[in-house]
């Protein structure tokens, strides 16, 4: 299998690259892409082990960032704005720390450059325990997943990874690789030097992914950063209040 990232591109203008979070795919940020494509050339990517991108049992943020750098070279993007949500935000931050010369403005949605305690163990276990041979539709899969994941919205998001081919369901994402690389995914960003470029952190008002305890490390790694809070949203702020999110992004890019 080719080791190139799968991507979709739309619009024209200055380049912006969108990077989704864990268990997601480029579809998760389609509503953000729609809000940007009139003014920007938007490249929406599938991270390795996700969507239609290649599978590899290694997911350090340096490697995930390098995947994006290689894609930029392949499709002739010299510099770009970068927007990442959750795990995608950590990839975006690593890109800026390792390859600052390739980054214009950086936008990080509801994640900090810190190590997080494991909190997807139940989700991974639930997905791995779905008996794919026994399901004929998503409802069957949902019934098997519900003992592990209470929130129906989260289950619906996770089950977008299911694809049917010749009457048989499989996962687009590589669950085994994600499970084995999970400590890497929870790790903090590491940078030899700070990213001096303009950076915006957008936090969900009801989310605890960015806290006041993270302020010092954010400031140390991203000294030219500012923050916006979208009240009444959780970790999925871009999906919960897409219009508000897109307005903040466009206004920031136009500064």
Is 99 an active-site residue? Answer: no
Q: Which comes out higher in pLDDT, residue 138 or 94?
A: 94
With respect to residue 202, please indicate whether it lies within any of the assigned structural domains: yes
Are 159 and 201 part of one and the same domain?
no
CATH code for the domain in which residue 248 is found: 3.40.50.1820
SS3 state at 168: strand
Concatenating the DSSP letter of every residue in 84-141 gives EETHHHHHHHHHHHH-GGGEEEEEEES--SS------HHHHHHHHT--GGG-SSHHHH
Choice among 50, 81, 235, 238 that is catalytic: 235
Pairing, β 40-45 against β 14-19: parallel
pLDDT at position 2: 57
What is the per-residue pLDDT across 44-95, written as a single tens digit (0 to 9) for each? 999 999 999 999 999 999 999 999 999 999 999 999 999 999 999 999 999 9
Are 207 and 138 part of one and the same domain?
no
With respect to residue 2, please indicate whether it lies within any of the assigned structural domains: no
Choice among 86, 207, 225, 238 that is catalytic: 86
Domain limits for position 20: 7-117+186-253
With respect to residue 52, please indicate whether it lies within any of the assigned structural domains: yes
Q: How confident is the model at residue 255 (pLDDT cuts 50, 70, 90)?
A: confident
Given a cut of 60, whether residue 156 has pLDDT beyond it is yes
Give CA–CA dist 220/25, Å, rounded: 30
Are 152 and 196 part of one and the same domain?
no
Is 86 an active-site residue? Answer: yes
What total of structural domains would you count in the chain?
2
Are 190 and 112 part of one and the same domain?
yes
Given a cut of 80, whether residue 238 has pLDDT beyond it is yes
């Amino acid at each position: 299998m080719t080791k190139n990232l799968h991507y979709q591109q739309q619009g024209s203008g200055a380049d912006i690259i969108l990077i989704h979070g864990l268990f997601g795919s480029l579809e998760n940020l389609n509503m953000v892409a729609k809000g940007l494509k009139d003014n920007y050339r938007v490249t929406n990517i599938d991270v390795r082990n996700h969507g239609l991108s290649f599978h590899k049992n290694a997911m350090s943020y340096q490697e995930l960032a390098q995947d994006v750098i290689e894609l930029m070279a392949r499709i002739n993007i010299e510099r770009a704005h970068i927007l990442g949500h959750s795990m995608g935000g950590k990839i975006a931050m690593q890109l800026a720390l390792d390859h600052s010369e390739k980054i214009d403005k950086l936008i990080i949605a509801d994640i900090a450059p810190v190590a997080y305690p494991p909190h997807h163990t139940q989700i991974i276990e639930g997905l791995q325990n779905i008996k794919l041979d026994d399901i004929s539709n998503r409802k069957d899969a949902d019934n098997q997943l519900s003992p592990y994941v209470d929130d129906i919205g989260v289950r619906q998001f996770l089950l977008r990874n299911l694809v049917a081919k010749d009457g048989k369901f499989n996962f687009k994402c590589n669950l085994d690789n994600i499970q084995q690389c999970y400590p890497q995914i929870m790790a903090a960003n590491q940078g030899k030097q700070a990213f001096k470029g303009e950076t915006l952190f957008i936090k969900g008002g009801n989310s605890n992914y960015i806290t006041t305890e993270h302020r010092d490390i954010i400031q140390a790694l991203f000294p030219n950063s500012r923050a916006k809070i979208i009240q009444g949203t959780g970790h999925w702020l871009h999906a919960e209040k897409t219009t508000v999110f897109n307005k903040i992004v466009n206004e920031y890019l136009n500064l």
